[in-house]
Amino acid sequence: MQGKSLELPHPSWPQSDGLSYSDLKDVLLETPSAHKAREWSKYYTAGPHLAGKNLSQAEWTRDRWEDWGVKSSIAAYNVYINYPVDHRLALSREGKAEFEATLEEDVLEDDPTTGLEDRIPVFHGYSASGNATSQYVYVNYGTYYDFEELLEAGIPLEGKIAIVKYGRIFRGLKVKRAEELGMVGVVIYSDPGDDGEITEENGYKPYPEGPARHPRSVQRGSVEYLSTRCWLRQDEISTNI
């Protein structure tokens, strides 16, 4: 409560035959190991784990829980999901491509995962399949208000491709609003101006030598419309348990 200090353990702490508050606190403070955290983090990031892929990591996790005496199992789910097949981004004038993005990140000697044969290509989960060719419109961060400002200025958006920066709102909502306004595609990019103070210009080395963002890194993720619900019939329930 405001104005009062929180006394621990809280008066509602359960009285039972389980761990006392003092014992629980000791376990939580003394059990975590920085060495193990680094070891397991390295394992989980040593290979791709796109949703629905890399069963071996799920099995490894189950085995660790079993080692600790926690009965565990792997559940199979039927889900709506897409996987990348191909991609292309080109800027053309009068039908001729003047620039074509590589859509590839650099293979880094210090990071073997960047050169894996099955590395995840540049794509957005739940993005639509198809070919969109049209004029483009810069929409800043792609927020609702960014789109509204363009509409109020009389900028036509229907049938156009939106160029938007990452940030401010979830990427899926940028795509959702563009679709609602009749736009046929969205290109989302990381603007170096949003990197803050941790940049090469300020003397920081880029990944993997330092904390600055690598200039050829690409953000991935879902563009699912998180504010939209998808209702399943009883016979389409997503779990097989």
What would the pLDDT profile of 38-52 be if each residue is shown by its tens digit?
999 999 999 888 888
Pick the CATH number of 90-222 from 3.50.30.30, 3.40.50.620, 3.60.20.10, 3.40.50.720: 3.50.30.30
pLDDT score, position 16: 62
Residue in this structure with the two tokens 């200090």, named with its chain if needed: 5
Q: Identify which has the larger pLDDT, 13 or 198.
A: 198
DSSP type of residue 158: T
pLDDT score, position 59: 96
Query: How many CB atoms sit inside 10 A of residue 183's CB?
Result: 22
Q: In what order do the strands lie in the sheet with 136-138?
A: 136-138, 161-165, 185-189
Give CA–CA dist 167/169, Å, rounded: 6
Banded pLDDT at 3 (limits 50, 70, 90): very low
Q: How confident is the model over 175-217, as pLDDT tens digits?
A: 999 999 999 999 999 999 999 999 999 999 999 999 999 999 9
Give CA–CA dist 171/141, Å, rounded: 9
What's the whole-number mean pLDDT along residues 7-19?
Answer: 65
Pair type for strands 161-165 and 185-189: parallel
**CB-based burial of residue 33 (10 Å sphere; 0-12 exposed, 13-18 middle, 19+ buried)?**
exposed
Does residue 182 contact residue 156 with C-beta atoms inside 8 Å?
no
Sequence ranges of the domains in the chain: 1-74, 90-222
Taking alpha carbons only, the member of 56, 52, 33 closest to residue 44 is 56
Does residue 166 contact residue 219 with C-beta atoms inside 8 Å?
yes
